[in-house]
Structure 1
Amino acid sequence: MQADLSPVIAATTHWLTRAFPPSGGALAAALCEVQARQAVTVAAWLRYPTAMDAALVGMAGPGGSARLDWVTGADSADDRDAEEHAWRSWVDEVVASWAACLLTDPDLAELAVAGIAEGEHTTGTPTVFRRLLAPDATDRHAAALLRHPDLLASVAELHRGELLDRLGSNEALVA
């Protein structure tokens, strides 16, 4: 059994950075990807908190990007070949939605990182999510689309309530 979430994290990160591309050149692309990867990693660790959860999603698959593509208007590419579709099948809609929430709400990102601190994924390894939690001006410029609350709203709202429930946030009562 595969207890590694790296295929889900990689595919979901790739989807986010394609749907909300960086502003600028190679450095901006790298900074945007790091921010997306950190948000997706936190979201994946929250969604699949145990090795058993990770192994099960590895066996069953996360569901793919079809609904996300539809919500963002990226579903019109009829010329996708099998290779293009293969990575899309590893995109996790809930993880993408939760990552969008974390990228656009700093307080929620802090709460989420605190929530994974005691989980199985971080045991024995200090994990730092600086670019997610404290992006500097260069990070923000590079990921202007990726961190824009209005642009990510359609993705973030898909599963925001579940994230708030998972984190035990009082905001869940308001939402």
Structure 2
Amino acid sequence: MQADLSPLIAATAQWLTCAYPSGGGALASALCEVQARQAVTVAAWLRYPTRMDAALVGMAGPGGSGRLDWITGADGADARDADEHAWRSWVDEVVASWAACLLTDAELAGRAVAALAGNSHTGGTPAGFRRLLTPDEADRRAAALLRHPDLTAPVAELHHSQLMDRLQPGQALIA
């Protein structure tokens, strides 16, 4: 049984960077990917706070990118290459939505990272999420689409209320 969220995190971050790509070259693409991965990691750890939660989603699967693809208009683009894009089955819609929320709201991102203190996934410090929490100008340029609240709103709004519920004071995450 897999108690590791890395396939879900990798697929969901890849989906975000495909849906909201960087406009620059290789460095900008890498910076965009790092920001997406950090936001997705925080969101995944919030959504699946225990090893048991992670193991269960590893067994059942997260649901895939179908609805997200439809919302962003990418639903028909990859249908003919389904085998080539099997990673899409590991995309978690809720995690993608929460990550979009975190990428467009610095205060919310700070609250989310703070909520992870003592979580069974975290061994590091918030410094591990610097590009999410305090992006510099190069980070912002690289992820202009990914961090644009109007562009990501259809995805962010899907599960925003659940994220807000999770981050309410007194909603301790089970360690």
TM-score by length of 1: 0.93
Whole-angstrom CA distance in 2 between matches of 1:88 and 1:133: 27
- Partner AA of 1:161 in structure 2: S
Q: CA deviation at 1:117?
A: 1.6
- Structure-1 residue corresponding to 2:157: 157
Unmatched runs of 5 consecutive residues or more in structure 1: 170-175
1:140 Cα offset (Å): 0.2
What secondary structure is seen at the aligned counterpart in 2 of 1:158?
Answer: coil
1:44 Cα offset (Å): 0.1
- Between 25-34 and 69-78, report the one with greater CA deviation: 69-78
SS at match of 2:80: coil
Question: Per-residue deviation at 1:80?
Answer: 1.9
Q: Does residue 1:96 correspond to 2:110, yes or no? A: no
Letter of the aligned partner of 1:121 in structure 2?
H
Deviation (angstroms), 1:17: 0.1
Q: Which is worse superposed, 25-34 or 73-82?
A: 73-82
Q: Deviations over 1:60-98 (max 9, x none)?
A: 0000000000011110223223121x1000000000000
d(CA) in 2 for partners of 1:18, 1:104: 17
* 1:9-158 map, 5 Å: 9-77=9-77, 78-84=79-85, 86-123=86-123, 125-127=124-126, 128-158=128-158
> Take 1:37 and 1:117, find their aligned partners in 2: how far apart are those partners?
19
Separation in 2, partners of 1:82, 1:129 = 33
**Of Structure 1 and Structure 2, which has the larger fraction of its residues in helix?**
1
Moved >3 Å (runs of 4+): none
Matches within 5 A, 1:3-14: 3-14=3-14
AA paired with 2:54?
A
Which residue type is aligned with residue 131 of structure 1?
Answer: R
Alignment length, in residue pairs?
167
% identity of equivalent residues: 74
Q: For residues 76 and 151 of structure 2, what CA distance do their matches in structure 1 show?
A: 19
Task: State the distance in 2 between where 1:108 and 1:33 align.
Answer: 20
Query: Helix, strand or coil for the counterpart of 1:30?
Result: helix
The code of the aligned residue for 1:81 comes to: A
Per the TM alignment, residue 118 of structure 1 is displaced from its structure 2 partner at its CA by 1.5
- Which SS does the other structure have where 1:144 is aligned? coil
Match of 1:172 in 2: none
2: CA distance, partners of 1:116 / 1:68: 26
TM-score (norm. length: structure 2): 0.93
> 2:80 & 2:51 partners in 1: Cα distance?
37
Backbone CA RMSD of aligned residues = 1.0
